Chains A and B, each alone.
Chain A
Amino acid sequence: MSAQLHFWLNNEEIRCNEPPGLLVLDYLRKKQRLVGTKEGCKEGDCGACTVLVGELQGDDVVYRPVTSCLMPVGELHGKHLVTIEGLNLPYLNPVQKAIVEEGATQCGFCTPGIVVSLTGYLMQTDQPITADGVKRWLSGHLCRCTGYRSLKDAYLHLKKIVGEHTGVEELVKHGWLPAYFLEMPERLRRIPPPVSRDGRSEERLIIAGGTDIYVQRGEMLPEASVHILNRYPRMKGIRRAGRFLRIGALTTFEELGNHPEVQKLVPRIQEYMFLVASLQIRNRATIGGNIINASPIADGVILLLALDAEVVMQKGRQQRVIPLRKLYRGYKQLDKQPGEILTEVRLPLSVGKCQIHFEKVSKRRTLDIASVNSAIRLRCDAAGIIREAALAVGGVAPIPLYLEKTSRFLVGRPCTPETVEGAIEQAMEEISPISDIRGSADYKRLLTRQLIIAHFTELFPEKMQVRDYYAIP
């Protein structure tokens, strides 16, 4: 049998027939014995297993950090997988030097992953080195030893040593990245596209970004028959068409947040994305996966519900379009036929006329699952009367909840604290939170109230303030 998988691992060309569902992390540590990549949690929370995945984009290879514990080997076809071993030079690179000089490594277990991420940061072209940038690229890494100050201060060294000379070519030129990186575009171009196996997808487990399924069922996937959507990335990309912004189901959260058309519709989208997972996870998690996974607390779904999104479901050549809010029928139950695949999400461009806001409260502000999240879309007329309203709240029902009655209640009413109090009352009737590790039912009820107030006070500071809701002198 000819090799199913063909990719580059560091400076080595790989042709193999590993089970496509095998985790990249297990492949690296167990099959290749490249043990610089560490296993810290196997659920994408700690970042110790971070690797770079390079993909051809035009003439260049673009590298993104991902957690190898949530990525199937089957997806590596045609790509460049970079581990710490593939970054090492006979001497320390600027990131390694910065970490050593700052004393930013103690037990060392999280360190290789961090070096990979920060080197990946330097490999981005046209991205000046900033303190915020360093933090952003550290965001998916847990370090239990240092307290992060020394890691953050690596910025100072990088700024001083590397300065403007970011990007693969510049780094190679200065001897900060192995020279073989320059050959990668040509090497990847030479890899033929994957042979499409003719399996019927309904019998197989469908994997998009895999960031949840690998956490839930990671151990069984190497042996399962899996259909890895990202092997044939047709359902990717964002474009305007007619009255809609059409978002391919395989679009990642990171791509969504960085897209100018999305930013036009949802001006604060990047701020919201900051609250969603970590950079490594946002680079993997897809919009389609977020929807189909049907978690009642899915950040992406809550936002899309308020944006009146529609979803395109496809089976063979048959296609149907339904409103996202009609997709959910019960806990993890969907209006979806066997074999149907979600291919696209459509956002009406008209939402651009509305004011939109997203709120999320979790135990830890970043890289945490929400206790309650909520999104709202509102349009007020010149007289201050609400003309359009859509409110969604997550974590308070078996499904990501669109608050139909509350939304309807708001329409036609003036944008005042009294209206908001009324809406809160409506919302209390629509939600049915339960107590779990994310918080007690009382807490989630209270948070729903607080976040509705937060929506309005954030969107209409001239009309109302938080103090209007408290009888405190």
Chain B
Amino acid sequence: MPFHDPELHTRGESRYVDDLPQPEGMLHAAVFFSPVAHGRIRQLDVSAALEMEGVVAVLTAKDIPGENQIGPLIPDQELLASEEVFYIGQPVALVVATHAEQARKAARRISLQVDHLPVITDPREAYEKGEIIGTPRVFQLGDVEAAWEQCDLVLEGHCEIGGQEHVYLETQRARAVPAEGKAIRIYSSTQSPYAVQRHAARVLGYPNHLIEVDVLRLGGGFGGKEDQATAWACLVALATWHTGKPVELVLSREEDMIMTGKRHPYQSDFKIGVTRDGRILAFEVRHYQNAGAAADLSPAILERTLFHSTNSYFIPNVRLFAVSCRTHLPPFTAFRGFGGPQGMFVMESAIARVAEALNMPREEIQRKNLLKENDLFPYGQRATDCRARRTWDTAMEVYRFSEWKQRVEQFNQSHFHKKKGLAVMPICFGISFTATFLNQASALVHVYTDGSVSISTGGVEMGQGLRANIATIAARALGIRLERIKMESTNTTRIANMSPSAASATTVLNGNATLLAIQQILSRLKPLVARELNVPDPESITIQDEKIFYRGSETGWTWEKLVQTAYFKRVSLSAHGFFATPGIYFDKQKEKGRPFAYHVYGTAILEVTLDALRGTYTIDAVKIVHDLGRPLNRRVDLGQVEGGLAQGLGWMTVEELVFDENGRNLSGALATYKLPDVYFMPDDLEVTFLENADEPTGPFGNKAVGEPPFMYGIGVFFAIRQAMQAFRPREDYAFRAPLTPERVLMELHREEIARLRSRVLATSSAGK
């Protein structure tokens, strides 16, 4: 199967944008970006760059023939800064040269003079100064104010949640090639080919149809290329427009980390009220989202935070406030979970606070408050076919939680500075784009006369296994061998107006669209067979293993014969399928509706061992019960669960995004930003898929799987916290993520730090 991704990957034969053969005369671009976080541009001098060897052009805002605007939701983001710069890393000029090295070298010769303006990096400060994007949102259920009175215990707390760098292994890149006339073809590493098409057209003042975008595959996206691949593609299109030559732009890792947005940092305050026995009666939260310098997708991400602020719990009285705050950092953007994880982290923190105050096991509070069938979410949707308790109970049983807990307690009794912590992490994640209109997809299916099949969809392959999934769905629906199916690149001339590959919904939407296209073809082929065989009931024709059956018995016809017959009988062997998720809506005025087709549930149990002397920890085990609907492609699904978990674990522990007060990213290289490696992940990792759990609206009963498992990772924070409590019980350990070894050690040894500090002061004053 030479054309299937896994085989090609292992042979180094799968092609990414800059692996494709280089068209003759191709030029290379490099970006000059703002070195300051906020300032008014006084002078931009590119003359020195223009004089450099190999430089063909230096393009700035005034070279944009169309509109200098790429903001996806709100037009607040220029492609190249014209008058003011808003973050370090904001593109200001594009250098085009014969070699990439020359372009980079020339970019360093560009000088930008600015009048410095005040820099804000803190979302609360931005909020206080009125620097917000859109309007604050409030979701309400019941009556919080009245409920506090009924609570036995009301607690407040504060969470500080760090951002996260995507570290897709393939950095952002694009190549533009001039086509006939004024048209331009763009090869882009984007999750959103239509966004690239639309914005490139806007920037060049073109109608959309003059821009063709082709996406073969991505070397990882995770949300980081949903919207933020657009700028680079627009820049090469602009360069091609000016030079008439193919132009390629590949960001180095460092450029990518400095210039592109990441997962949003949040600061959140919570207030939670419970009964003596741990039932949550009321919950209030205020989320301050650090949106960075432009809206990007922040308002949509903020919305998903609200949708997931009570995780998989039912709380009768809720008030959720969230606001998107504009700061002078790179515009934060989509990342697996899309705001959901931040909402859930705060909920879980509040539960930890309650458990510690009531001196009850955290998991007891969690279990008591789990969603039940028909419970109401704060946004008005009911939990139907709710599997919160089912995954919880299955996890407890399959993984023998109570024995496990005993082992942990015994370990802690017999060790002094090594302590284990155990945490349970239930998840509940809504599936569908929360912007209802995005829940549409198309597929184009061609059957060739030799029986081979070509499929294009609006979905982008980025490692999530979309191609394997669609091919599996198609082969099953057609009743033919998988080898017959070829998945094509994602191309705007074959599929128009596609939604981004995001929201975990790519397989669901495009798989359903593929099924609809195949049904059209089958609905033409079946009557044909019936006619040819002279049998009355076309609906009783089936295809299995490439053989044609009538009412369950073989007809002697094969797939190939059928296809050839259809061709000669002039029956169309192509179809375009269109799918729109039914039954979803959301009313933003009332903040109520049914935004999700369904929810994905699951429960993870996580164990860590803390070395309280060194502040380091290892993750010993993670065991998961996950609600997948019916598995479509076990290897792919498992890969999504495990990979999502790894990113979640990293986000909570070692992945620390650091900006200084001048808006400079101090963690802008892989030497300073650490993600899980092979030794970080536990060897003891188990995933059980819930059985008999078909999702009626999913293709072949399958549920979306991309994002939800990320949030199992949140549990590791609370496992480490529990281990810290076992070493030194304290009520005021901070809810500050990531919980790096530094933070662990500093929290555990406050007394020792004070002593060491006083000693240093004593010696330095003695020396004076």
A binds B: yes
> A150 touching B7 by the CB < 8 A rule?
no
Bound-complex Cα distance A439 to B742 (A): 7
User: Would you list which residues of chain A between 106 and 133 have a CB under 8 Å from chain B?
Assistant: 106-112, 115
**Contacts A106-B465, A108-B9; is A450 near B615 (CB within 8 Å)?**
yes
Q: Which of B722-764 contact A (CB under 8 A)?
A: 727-728, 740-742, 745-746, 749, 752-753, 756-757, 759-760, 763
Stretch of B137-145, B663-671, B697-705 contacting A (4+ beta carbons < 8 Å): B663-671
Most buried by A among B12, B22, B218, B465: B12
In the complex, the answer to whether B9 meets A144 with C-beta atoms within 8 Å is no
Q: Are B168 and A100 in contact (CB under 8 A)?
A: no
How far is it, in angstroms, between the C-alpha of A445 and the C-alpha of B763 when the chains are bound? Answer: 14
Q: Contact check, A147 vs B9: say whether CB atoms are below 8 A apart.
A: no
| Contact B639 A103, beta carbon cutoff 8 Å | yes
Question: How far is it, in angstroms, between the C-alpha of A122 and the C-alpha of B137 when the chains are bound?
Answer: 57
Interface bits A430-463 vs B (CB < 8 Å: 1, else 0): 0000000101101101110111011001000000
Q: Is B615 in contact with A106, judged by CB distance below 8 angstroms?
A: no
Mark A363-382 against chain B: 1 for CB-CB distance below 8 A, else 0: 11111110100000000000
A271 at the interface (CB under 8 A from B): no
Whether, in the assembled complex, A407 has its beta carbon less than 8 Å from a beta carbon of chain B, the answer is: no
Asked whether A429 and B670 contact (CB < 8 A) given A92-B10, A96-B10, A151-B678, the answer is no
B675:A144 contact, CB within 8 angstroms: yes
| Contact across chains for A99 and B10 when beta carbons are under 8 A apart | yes
Tell me if A43 and B169 are in contact (CB < 8 A): no
Residue from A107, A222, A454 within 8 A of B168 (CB atoms): A107
CA distance A46 to B669 in the complex (A): 11
Smallest CB separation, B34 vs chain A (Å): 21
Q: Are A361 and B616 touching (Cβ within 8 A)?
A: yes
B101 contact from A96, A219, A428, Cβ within 8 A: A219
Which of A83, A150, A453 is the one whose CB lies under 8 Å from B639? A150
Given the contacts A108-B219, A141-B678, A446-B746, A95 and B10 also touching, CB distance less than 8 Å: yes
Q: Which of B657-709 contact A (CB under 8 A)?
A: 658, 666-667, 669-672, 674-681, 683, 685
- The answer to whether B642 touches A150 (Cβ under 8 A) is yes
Does B217 sit at the interface, judged by CB under 8 A?
yes
Return the chain B residue nearest A143 by Cβ.
B169
A353 to B105, alpha carbons, bound, how many Å?
A: 55
With both chains docked as a complex, state the minimum distance between the C-beta of B226 and any C-beta of chain A, in angstroms.
Answer: 15
Q: Which of B620-679 contact A (CB under 8 A)?
A: 635-636, 638-639, 642-647, 654, 656, 658, 666-667, 669-672, 674-679
Cβ B12 vs Cβ A454 within 8 A: no
Which residues on the B side are within 8 Å of A112 (C-beta)? 9-12
> Is B253 among interface residues, defined by CB-CB distance under 8 A?
yes
B614 near A454 with CB under 8 A, answer: yes
Would A135 and B679 count as touching, CB distance under 8 A? yes
A364 to B741, CA, bound (A): 8
Contact B678 A442 (CB under 8 A): no
Asked whether B170 is an interface residue with its Cβ less than 8 Å from the other chain, the reply is yes
Which secondary structure dominates where chain B touches chain A? Answer: loop
The reply on A52 being an interface residue by CB < 8 A is no
Residues of chain B within 8 A of A449, CB atoms compared: 752, 756
List, in ascending order, chain A residues with CB within 8 A of B678's CB: 135, 138-139, 141, 148, 151-152
Question: CB-CB < 8 A to B170: which residues of A?
Answer: 38, 40, 107, 109
Encode contact with A along B401-424: 1 for CB under 8 Å, 0 otherwise: 000000000000000110000000
B residues in contact with A151, CB < 8 Å: 678
In contact, A146 and B728 (Cβ under 8 angstroms): no
What residues on B are CB-neighbors of A41 within 8 Å? 253, 669-670
Establish whether residues B6 and A105, one from each chain, have CB atoms under 8 Å apart when the complex forms.
yes
A251 CB to closest chain B CB, in angstroms?
A: 24
* B746-A442 in contact (CB<8A): yes
Evaluate contact between A361 and B741: CB separation under 8 angstroms.
yes
Query: In the complex, what distance in Å separates the CA atom of A83 from the CA atom of B666?
Result: 34
**Are A363 and B674 closer than 8 Å at their CB atoms?**
yes
Name the residue of chain B whose CB is nearest to the CB of A45.
Answer: B670
Pairwise interchain contact B679-A365, C-beta atoms closer than 8 A: yes
Structural contact, B417 and A107, CB atoms closer than 8 A: no
Query: Is A36 in contact with chain B by the CB < 8 A criterion?
Result: yes
Provide the bound-state CA to CA distance between A299 and B612, in Å: 23
- For the complex, what is the distance from the CA of A364 to the CA of B650, rounded to whole Å? 10
Chain A residues with Cβ under 8 A from B171's Cβ? 40
Task: Please judge, given known A-B contacts A138-B678, A365-B679, whether A40 and B169 are in contact too, CB under 8 Å.
Answer: yes
Contact across chains for B462 and A450 when beta carbons are under 8 A apart: no
Distance in angstroms between the alpha carbons of A429 and B763 in the assembled complex: 7
Among the stretches B13-21, B174-182, B271-279, B433-441, the one at the interface with A is: B13-21
A88 at the interface (CB under 8 A from B): yes
Cβ of A85: which chain B residues have Cβ within 8 Å of it?
12
The verdict on A465 contacting chain B, using a C-beta distance below 8 Å, is: yes
**Do A102 and B19 touch (CB < 8 A)?**
no
Does residue A12 face the partner (Cβ distance < 8 Å to B)?
no
Give complex CA distance A142, B655 in Å. Answer: 14
Q: Which residues of B sit under 8 angstroms from A150, Cβ to Cβ?
A: 635, 638-639, 642
A-B contact count (CB 8 A): 252
Q: Do residues A88 and B12 form an inter-chain contact, with CB atoms below 8 A? A: yes
Q: How far is the CB of B604 from chain A (nearest CB, A)?
A: 13
**B745 near A450: Cβ-Cβ < 8 Å:** yes
Residue of A135, A150, A470 with highest tally of chain B CB at under 10 A: A470
Query: Which of B168, B253, B416 is the one whose CB lies under 8 Å from A467?
Result: B416
Q: How far is the CB of B464 from chain A (nearest CB, A)?
A: 7
Decide yes or no whether A472 CB sits under 8 A from chain B. Answer: yes
Asked if A364 and B680 make an inter-chain contact with CB atoms under 8 angstroms apart, the answer reads yes
Question: In whole angstroms, what is the CA distance A467 to B763 when docked?
Answer: 27
User: What string of 1s and 0s marks CB contacts (under 8 Å) between A13-56 and chain B?
Assistant: 00000000000000000000101111011110110100000000
Q: Which of A84, A439, A453 contacts B12 (CB 8 A)?
A: A84
Contacts of B16 in A (CB 8 A): 38, 109
Quick one: closest B residue to A106, CB to CB?
B463
B111 → chain A closest CB, angstroms:
19
Residues A96 and B639 in contact in the complex (CB < 8 Å), given A108-B463, A361-B616:
no
Whether the Cβ atoms of A43 and B670 lie closer than 8 Å is yes
A428 touches B759 (CB 8 A): yes
Residues of chain A from 243 to 263 with CB closer than 8 A to chain B in the complex: none
Q: How far is the CB of A35 from chain B (nearest CB, A)?
A: 4
A60 interface residue (CB < 8 Å to B): no
Contact with B along A217-260 (1 / 0, CB 8 A): 00100100000000000000000000000000000000000000
Determine whether the beta carbon of B763 is less than 8 Å from that of A109.
no
Distance of A5 Cα from B729 Cα, bound (Å): 64
- Are A107 and B218 also in contact (CB < 8 A) when A85-B12, A100-B6, A449-B756 are? yes
Are B416 and A147 touching (Cβ within 8 A)? no
Please indicate the chain B residues that have their CB under 8 angstroms from the CB of A453 in the complex. 613
**A236 → B minimal CB distance (Å):** 27
User: Are A38's CB and B219's CB within 8 A?
Assistant: yes
Question: Which of A33, A111, A465 has the largest count of B CB atoms less than 10 A from its CB?
Answer: A111
Chain B residue, CB-CB nearest to A215: B671
Give A45 to B257 CA distance when docked, in angstroms. Answer: 14
* B 320-360 to A, binary, CB cutoff 8 A, 1 in contact else 0: 00000000000000000000000000000000000000000
Tell me whether A322 is interfacial, beta carbon within 8 Å.
no
CA distance in complex: A96, B7 (Å): 7
Check B38 for interface membership: any CB of A closer than 8 A. Answer: no
Report the Cα distance A445→B745, complex, angstroms: 11
Given that A103-B6, A107-B170, A437-B658 are contacting pairs, would A445 and B681 also be in contact in the complex, using a CB cutoff of 8 Å?
A: no
Can you list 26 residue pairs at the A/B interface with Cβ under 8 Å? A36-B11, A43-B670, A85-B12, A103-B6, A103-B636, A107-B169, A107-B217, A107-B462, A108-B14, A142-B677, A144-B222, A144-B643, A362-B741, A365-B616, A365-B679, A368-B674, A440-B742, A442-B757, A446-B746, A446-B749, A446-B756, A450-B613, A457-B613, A465-B416, A466-B613, A467-B417
Extra A-B contacts (11), CB below 8 Å, given A100-B6, A144-B169, A148-B676: A35-B18, A38-B219, A40-B169, A40-B253, A45-B671, A106-B643, A146-B642, A149-B685, A361-B615, A440-B746, A442-B753
Pairs A-B, 10 closest by C-beta atoms: A36-B12, A107-B463, A103-B635, A108-B9, A109-B219, A106-B463, A147-B646, A84-B12, A112-B12, A147-B642
